[in-house]
Chain A
C-alpha cells in the first residue's frame, strides 16, 4: 500500500470519527431532561450508596434496607416511629419469660418465583442467616433454635430475652429470600416484596429498576408501578440530580437546601445522625483525666453545640446531649439542656478534678467525614486548657483504630436506631462501640432489667439509663445532624414525620389521579 492511499485512509477515518462525534453531540443534546413523568407512575429515587450485594442474610444498613424492601418482605415491620407491627407474620407473641417467640405465617403467601412462603421457608431463612457470616447473623445470635410447629406457625427459642429481636426481624435479618434462590442470593434477589428486580433494564452500580410483583398481597400500599433506585456516592451528583429533577426523590446536604427549594422541591429534614465527641477511655487507661466524671462533664460544657450547628450545619441541626434516637422511648428532651456552653463552668470542673491548667489529649482526625469539626473542637477545648493533638487516620482504618482502643476520645457520627441495639452497642461492657469495655454497675444492672422486661414496660428503664449516661458524660454529643430528603411535589406525595430517621418506600406515593 503506498503512502498516499494510507494517508487518505487516515484522513477518511479522522473525518468519519469527527462526523460521528458531531452526530453524538448533536443527537445527545436533543430532547428534554430525563426523569419520569407524572403519568407513568414511576418513581426514581437517588441513594447515597450502592448496594454491596443482594443477600439480606449478609446484612446491611438502613440504606441497604431501602434496596431490600423493594424485593423482600420482612417477618415484622419496623415503622418509621421505630415501633414494630406485623409483616409476613400476621401475629407475634412472646412467652412469659421472653425466651420464646411464636410467629403466625398466614397460608397462601408466595415468593415471586412461586415458591410457598410458609413456616418451613421462614425456618430455612433464619437457619441460613444464622450460619452466614455478617451483620445479620449477629442480630440473631441469641436464637438457639427455630421450630416449625405447623405450616403456619414457627417458634423461635432464645438463649436469653432479646429486646432487639423484633426490630431485627423487621430489618435485613428478617427479610425472607426464596429458598430456591439461596444459591445465588448475593446476585439475584428473589423475595416476596412489592417489586421484582428487572435485571435487563438495570445497570449495576448506576440504575436498579423494579416492576410490580404480581404475587404481592398488598399492592395498594405501594402506589408506584415502577421504582428506580440510582446510587450516587458523590453528594454533588446527588444535588445535581435532585435540583435538575432527574430524580423524583433525592437528598441534599445543608448547602443544597436553599437551591433545592428554589428549584421547587419539597425539602424535609430527618434527625438521623448524632455528631459528637466520644469520651471512650472512661477508665483513664490512655488519658487519666477522662476517668473523672467532672472532666468529661467539663468537655461537654466546653464545646459550643449551637456554634457548630450555625457554622457547619448551616443552622439545620438540633443541639443534644443524648445518643438515643429522637423518636425512641429513651429520648428525653429535657436532657438536652444539661450541658450549656459554659467555658467558665468547664474550667471550674477541671480545677475541681485536679486539672486547673488542663491536660493534653491525643485524638484522631480524618478527612472523610467531619473534617470541619476538628479545628473548632481543638480551639474550644484549648480555651479551657485541654490541649488536643490530632493524629491523622486514613479513611479505611477509622473503624479498626477508633474502635480498637487506640484513642481515648474521638469524633464520631452515629446513626441511632432501636434503643436496645444502641444500648448494647454503646453501653454494654462488650459493646462494639465501647472500645475500653467500660463496665459500670448501674448501666449493667439497668440493661439486665430492660432485657427481662416486656416491651411495654421498658420505657422508664431506658429513660433512666439514658439520664444516667448523660449525667456521667460518657459522650459529648453536639448536635443531631439532619439528612435532607427532597421530592418533586408535582409528582410525589411525600409523608415524612418530624422525628423520622430513615425513609421507607411507602413514604412516597403518586399524587392522586
Chain B
C-alpha cells in the first residue's frame, strides 16, 4: 500500500509541475498584463518600470522556477491587480465552488444510485422512464436549466434568490437558500450519468450466478440489496461519482456566472482575461491538488470495497 501511495504521490507531483508550467507558458504567450496594470495612457518608461518590477524581463523558466520555489513554501504571491494575497483570494472563493460541487455531487450520487437501483431491480416502466429521463437530462445544458429555474423559482414564485452567495458562517439558512438553484442546475446531467452506471452494474450483478443463488435462498431483500448488490456495484459507481465531482468542480463557472456567485470559476475567468498570473497559477495549483486528492481517495475507496482492485 505504501509503495502504491508513493507512486501516486510521485505521479501527482509530475502532473502538478506539468499543468502549472503549461499554464505559466500559455499566460505568458497569450496576454500582456502590464498595459492593464499601468493604464493605457502610461508612458513607455512607466510600462518598462512595471515590467521590470514584475520580473517579466527574466527568462520564462527562471520566473517559473521562482514561482515554484515560493509555492513550495506556501507563498503563492499577491494578485498583480487587487493587491490581495492569492491564498486569501482562493480562500474566499474555494468554499463557494466546493459547496456547489460537493452538494451537487452528493445530490447526484444519492438520486442517481436510487434511480439506477430502482430501474435495475424493478425493470418495466420505471426502467423505461429512467432511460427516457436520462436521455433528456444528458441533452439539456446546465445553462438552460439554470435560467429556467431562476425564471420559475426566483422571478415568478419568489421562493429562492435569483443570485448571490451567502457564506455559511454568516447565515446557514441564507447559505442553503443561495445554493439550491445552482446545485439543482448542475446536478441534472450527473444524476443521469450515475443512474445509468448504477443501473447497468446492478443489472449485470443480478444476472450473475452468485446473486441468483443468494436470491433463491430467500435472503432478506434488504440484506440482498445493501450487502451484496450495492457493495458489488459500488466501485464503478464510486469512480463515476469521483469523476462527476471533478467535472462539476471544473464546470461551476457557468452557474457561478448565472447566479453571480464569487467562486473559483469567476476568479479564474477574470484573472485569466487580464493575465493576473499569480492568481491563475494559484487556482490551477489548488484545483490540480484537489483533483489529484479526489482521484486518490476514489482509488483507495475502490480498493477498500473491492479486494481484486487492491491487488492490481
Contacting chain B: which of A26-34, A299-307, A382-390? Answer: A26-34
Q: Which of A188-239 contact B (CB under 8 A)?
A: 201, 203-207, 230-234, 236-238
- In angstroms, Cα B154 to Cα A33, docked, is 7
Known: A33-B159, A133-B50, A134-B38. A244 touches B150 (CB 8 A): yes
* B103 contacts A21, C-beta separation under 8 Å: yes
Checking B49, B83, B176, B231 against A27 with a beta-carbon cut-off of 8 angstroms, the contacting residue is: B176
In the complex, B167 has a CB within 8 A of chain A: yes
* B155 contacts A263, C-beta separation under 8 Å: yes
- In angstroms, Cα B38 to Cα A133, docked, is 5
In the complex, how many angstroms separate the beta carbon of B35 from the nearest chain A beta carbon?
A: 6
- Of A59, A187, A246, most B-chain CB atoms within 10 Å: A246
Q: Which residue of B lies closest to A247 (CB)?
A: B163
Q: Which residue of B lies closest to A200 (CB)?
A: B170
- In angstroms, Cα B107 to Cα A244, docked, is 26
In the complex, how many angstroms separate the beta carbon of B118 from the nearest chain A beta carbon?
A: 15
In the complex, A468 has a CB within 8 A of chain B: no
- Of B39, B259, B260, most A-chain CB atoms within 10 Å: B260
- In angstroms, Cα B156 to Cα A244, docked, is 7
Known: A133-B42, A396-B275. A205 touches B267 (CB 8 A): yes
In the complex, how many angstroms separate the beta carbon of A364 from the nearest chain B beta carbon?
A: 16
In the complex, how many angstroms separate the beta carbon of B111 from the nearest chain A beta carbon?
A: 9
A-B CB pair tally, cutoff 8 Å: 172
* A246 contacts B179, C-beta separation under 8 Å: no
Known: A21-B106, A24-B179, A27-B173. A240 touches B163 (CB 8 A): yes
In the complex, A241 has a CB within 8 A of chain B: yes
Q: Which of B21-48 contact A (CB under 8 A)?
A: 30-32, 35-42, 46
- In angstroms, Cα B32 to Cα A53, docked, is 19
Known: A21-B107, A135-B41, A244-B158. A7 touches B231 (CB 8 A): yes
In the complex, how many angstroms separate the beta carbon of B89 from the nearest chain A beta carbon?
A: 8
Chain B residues, CB < 8 A from A207 = 164
Known: A11-B226, A133-B49. A234 touches B258 (CB 8 A): yes
Known: A21-B106, A28-B176. A246 touches B161 (CB 8 A): yes
In the complex, how many angstroms separate the beta carbon of B176 from the nearest chain A beta carbon?
A: 4
In the complex, how many angstroms separate the beta carbon of B47 from the nearest chain A beta carbon?
A: 9
* A206 contacts B231, C-beta separation under 8 Å: no
In the complex, how many angstroms separate the beta carbon of B251 from the nearest chain A beta carbon?
A: 15
Chain B residues, CB < 8 A from A24 = 103, 176, 179-180
* B32 contacts A400, C-beta separation under 8 Å: yes
In the complex, B282 has a CB within 8 A of chain A: no
Known: A205-B93, A432-B41. A396 touches B31 (CB 8 A): yes
In the complex, how many angstroms separate the beta carbon of B289 from the nearest chain A beta carbon?
A: 22
Q: Which residue of B lies closest to A205 (CB)?
A: B262
* B158 contacts A32, C-beta separation under 8 Å: yes
In the complex, B277 has a CB within 8 A of chain A: no
In the complex, B177 has a CB within 8 A of chain A: yes
- In angstroms, Cα B168 to Cα A27, docked, is 14
- In angstroms, Cα B106 to Cα A25, docked, is 13
Contact with A along B244-271 (1 / 0, CB 8 A): 0000000000000111111000110010
Known: A21-B107, A397-B30. A237 touches B180 (CB 8 A): no
Chain A residues, CB < 8 A from B37 = 133-134
- In angstroms, Cα B272 to Cα A267, docked, is 34
Contact with B along A49-88 (1 / 0, CB 8 A): 0101101000100000000000000000000000000000
In the complex, A107 has a CB within 8 A of chain B: no
Q: Which residue of B lies closest to A136 (CB)?
A: B39
* B274 contacts A33, C-beta separation under 8 Å: no
- In angstroms, Cα B83 to Cα A206, docked, is 18
Checking A29, A133, A138, A396 against B159 with a beta-carbon cut-off of 8 angstroms, the contacting residue is: A29
In the complex, B239 has a CB within 8 A of chain A: no
In the complex, B202 has a CB within 8 A of chain A: no
In the complex, B240 has a CB within 8 A of chain A: no
* A231 contacts B260, C-beta separation under 8 Å: yes
* B81 contacts A53, C-beta separation under 8 Å: yes
In the complex, B110 has a CB within 8 A of chain A: yes
- In angstroms, Cα B188 to Cα A331, docked, is 53
- In angstroms, Cα B166 to Cα A17, docked, is 21
Contact with B along A1-18 (1 / 0, CB 8 A): 000100100010010011
* B82 contacts A240, C-beta separation under 8 Å: no
Checking A14, A29, A50, A394 against B110 with a beta-carbon cut-off of 8 angstroms, the contacting residue is: A14
* A7 contacts B158, C-beta separation under 8 Å: no
In the complex, B227 has a CB within 8 A of chain A: yes
Q: Which of B265-304 contact A (CB under 8 A)?
A: 266-267, 270, 272-275
In the complex, how many angstroms separate the beta carbon of A424 from the nearest chain B beta carbon?
A: 9
Chain A residues, CB < 8 A from B106 = 17, 21
Checking A31, A137, A244 against B155 with a beta-carbon cut-off of 8 angstroms, the contacting residue is: A244
In the complex, how many angstroms separate the beta carbon of B5 from the nearest chain A beta carbon?
A: 21
In the complex, B160 has a CB within 8 A of chain A: yes
In the complex, how many angstroms separate the beta carbon of B194 from the nearest chain A beta carbon?
A: 13
Contact with A along B157-195 (1 / 0, CB 8 A): 011111111110010010011011000000000000000
- In angstroms, Cα B275 to Cα A400, docked, is 13
In the complex, how many angstroms separate the beta carbon of B41 from the nearest chain A beta carbon?
A: 4
Contact with B along A481-500 (1 / 0, CB 8 A): 00000000000000000000
Known: A237-B259, A240-B162, A403-B40. A7 touches B176 (CB 8 A): no
In the complex, A369 has a CB within 8 A of chain B: no
In the complex, B84 has a CB within 8 A of chain A: yes
* B158 contacts A186, C-beta separation under 8 Å: no
Q: Which residue of B lies closest to A8 (CB)?
A: B226
In the complex, A372 has a CB within 8 A of chain B: no
Checking B93, B173, B275 against A28 with a beta-carbon cut-off of 8 angstroms, the contacting residue is: B173
Contact with A along B131-168 (1 / 0, CB 8 A): 00000000000000001001100110011111111110
* A205 contacts B103, C-beta separation under 8 Å: no
In the complex, how many angstroms separate the beta carbon of A33 from the nearest chain B beta carbon?
A: 4
* A33 contacts B161, C-beta separation under 8 Å: yes
Chain B residues, CB < 8 A from A137 = 39, 42, 46
In the complex, how many angstroms separate the beta carbon of A84 from the nearest chain B beta carbon?
A: 21
In the complex, how many angstroms separate the beta carbon of A240 from the nearest chain B beta carbon?
A: 4
Chain A residues, CB < 8 A from B257 = 233-234, 236-237
- In angstroms, Cα B49 to Cα A4, docked, is 68
* B39 contacts A29, C-beta separation under 8 Å: no
Instruction: Given contact pairs A203-B170, A238-B260, enumerate 19 new A-B contacts (beta carbons under 8 Å).
Output: A17-B106, A29-B159, A29-B160, A31-B177, A33-B159, A34-B164, A133-B37, A133-B49, A135-B39, A186-B83, A187-B83, A234-B258, A234-B260, A236-B258, A237-B258, A240-B258, A244-B162, A396-B273, A400-B32
Show 16 A/B contacts (Cβ-Cβ < 8 Å), sorted by A: A28-B176, A31-B177, A53-B84, A138-B39, A138-B41, A203-B170, A205-B92, A233-B260, A233-B266, A236-B147, A238-B260, A240-B154, A243-B162, A244-B150, A396-B273, A396-B274
Give the 6 A-B residue pairs with the shortest CB-CB distance, closest first.
Answer: A205-B262, A186-B83, A135-B39, A240-B162, A33-B158, A28-B176
Interface residues of B (CB under 8 A from A): 30-32, 35-42, 46, 49-50, 81-84, 92-93, 103, 106-107, 110, 147, 150-151, 154-155, 158-167, 170, 173, 176-177, 179-180, 226-227, 231, 257-262, 266-267, 270, 272-275
